[in-house]
């Protein structure tokens, strides 16, 4: 071939190849993204319900996800780190060995870890260890830092000792096993009592009553609350304690203790609104129930409902309101 024609032909072929490659790179179709799945959480009386919704993202426009109203809001769950897992394991081991105060302290340290979210699975694991330890401590003479000793003097009696130390006879009997069946005391006898300030929080959302001693979590109880959101949120004081209570119905009828229609169980603790809470919120209280399976549900007419054996225990550690004894504060939260 004539070299004058050969090189122009080669250049033309290279130009055609490059042109084809450019057209293919610019003229293809946009890739359509695969449908993704978003998970929304709504909260109701029975707990969180998880609903999966397909969401397809168009290539050229941005679509805002539908807003989901959560009432009450759902907190994120924490994932226990290896350090927290090790602490929980250590606390459980101490509990099993009978080292109750050590187990409780480790579990309390877990609750203070920044990664732990209140009421989530990790929080509950720690709270259950605290609860198990303190249940044994408040029902025995097992030593712990909050227990103090009182030495009986001449002419003492349990009523005087309870009042002087801002506690109750019921609490003294629970702590001191020797007083449960024999309340006769003698001079120089040592009696143990729990010293400190009690307070209570109730979480309606989690059906949980939390007992605190000196602002540290002490016990947890599963409770029932009012159906149709009838349990009011606010701050209250326990201003009355009644054993074997009669039930005063709204229609004025009095249902005596022991009657099958009496809904109050074995104990009643009267709640009086305080600190700016609506003063008309009268008639509410914390009480027992003859239907223990109803605890953990929205079941009552508005009061906080507990299992009889648990409300009796709590009742014993609430000091009767007197002139020198400050009433126990109760905060009810949504």
Is 287 labeled as catalytic in the residue annotation? yes
The average confidence (pLDDT) of the chain is 83
CATH number, residue 246:
2.40.440.10
pLDDT in the model for residue 305: 98
pLDDT in the model for residue 280: 96
Inside any domain, residue 162: yes
- For the whole model, what pTM was predicted? 0.76
Determine the 3-state secondary structure of 314 from DSSP: helix
Inside any domain, residue 92: yes
DSSP 270-306: EEEE-TTS-TT--S-EEE--S-GGGTTSEEESSSEE-
Assign 3-class secondary structure to 167-229: CCHHHHHHHCHHHCCCCCCCCCCEEEEECCCEEEEEECCCCEEEEEECCEEEEEEECEEEHHH
Inside any domain, residue 171: yes
- Digit-coded pLDDT (tens) for 210-251: 999 999 999 999 999 999 999 999 999 999 999 999 998 888
Catalytic one of 26, 206, 287, 299: 287
Task: Please count the CA atoms within 13 angstroms of the CA of 145 that sit on its side-chain side.
Answer: 9
Is 299 labeled as catalytic in the residue annotation? no
Residue 1 has pLDDT above 90, yes or no: no
Banded pLDDT at 141 (limits 50, 70, 90): very high
- Digit-coded pLDDT (tens) for 315-332: 999 999 877 888 999 999
Residue 186 has pLDDT above 60, yes or no: yes
Inside any domain, residue 241: yes
pLDDT in the model for residue 328: 97
Residue 18 has pLDDT above 60, yes or no: no
Domain range enclosing 264 = 198-333
Q: What is the total count of domains within the chain?
A: 3
State how far the Cα of 140 lies from the Cα of 138, in Å rounded to an integer.
Answer: 6
Banded pLDDT at 49 (limits 50, 70, 90): very low
Are residues 317 and 223 part of one domain? yes
Catalytic one of 206, 295, 299, 303: 303
pLDDT in the model for residue 260: 86
CATH number, residue 183:
3.10.350.10
Residue 115 has pLDDT above 90, yes or no: yes
State how far the Cα of 43 lies from the Cα of 49, in Å rounded to an integer.
Answer: 6
Average pLDDT over residues 162-170: 94
Distance of CA 30 to the CA centre of its chain: 51
Are residues 208 and 181 part of one domain? no
Inside any domain, residue 294: yes
């Amino acid at each position: 071939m004539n070299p004058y024609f050969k090189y122009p032909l080669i250049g033309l072929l290279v130009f055609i190849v490059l042109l084809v490659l450019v057209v293919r790179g610019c003229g293809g179709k946009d890739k359509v993204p695969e449908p993704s799945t978003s998970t929304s959480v709504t909260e109701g009386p029975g707990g969180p319900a998880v609903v999966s919704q397909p969401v397809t993202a168009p290539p050229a426009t941005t679509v805002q996800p539908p807003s989901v109203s959560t009432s009450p809001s759902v907190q994120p769950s924490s994932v226990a780190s290896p350090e927290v897992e090790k602490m929980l394991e250590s606390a459980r081991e101490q509990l099993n060995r009978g080292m109750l105060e050590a187990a409780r302290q480790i579990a309390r340290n877990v609750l203070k870890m920044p990664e732990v979210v209140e009421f989530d699975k990790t929080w509950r694991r720690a709270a259950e260890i605290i609860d198990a330890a303190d249940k044994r401590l408040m029902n025995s003479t097992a030593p712990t830092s909050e227990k103090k000793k009182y030495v009986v003097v001449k002419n003492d009696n349990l009523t005087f000792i309870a009042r002087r130390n801002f506690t109750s006879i019921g609490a003294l009997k629970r702590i001191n096993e020797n007083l449960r069946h024999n309340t006769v005391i003698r001079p120089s006898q040592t009696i143990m009592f729990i010293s400190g300030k009690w307070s209570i929080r109730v979480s309606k959302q989690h059906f949980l009553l939390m007992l605190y001693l000196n602002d540290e979590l002490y016990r947890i109880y599963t409770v029932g609350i009012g159906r149709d959101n009838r349990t009011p949120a606010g701050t209250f004081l326990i201003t009355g304690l009644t054993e074997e209570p009669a039930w005063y119905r709204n229609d004025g009828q009095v249902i005596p203790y022991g009657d099958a229609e009496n809904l109050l169980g074995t104990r009643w603790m009267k709640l009086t609104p305080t600190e700016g809470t609506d003063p008309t919120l009268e008639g509410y209280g914390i009480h027992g129930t003859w239907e223990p399976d109803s605890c953990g549900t929205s079941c009552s007419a508005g009061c906080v409902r507990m299992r009889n054996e648990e409300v009796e225990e709590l009742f014993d550690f609430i000091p009767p309101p007197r002139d020198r004894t400050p009433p126990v504060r109760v905060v009810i939260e949504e």
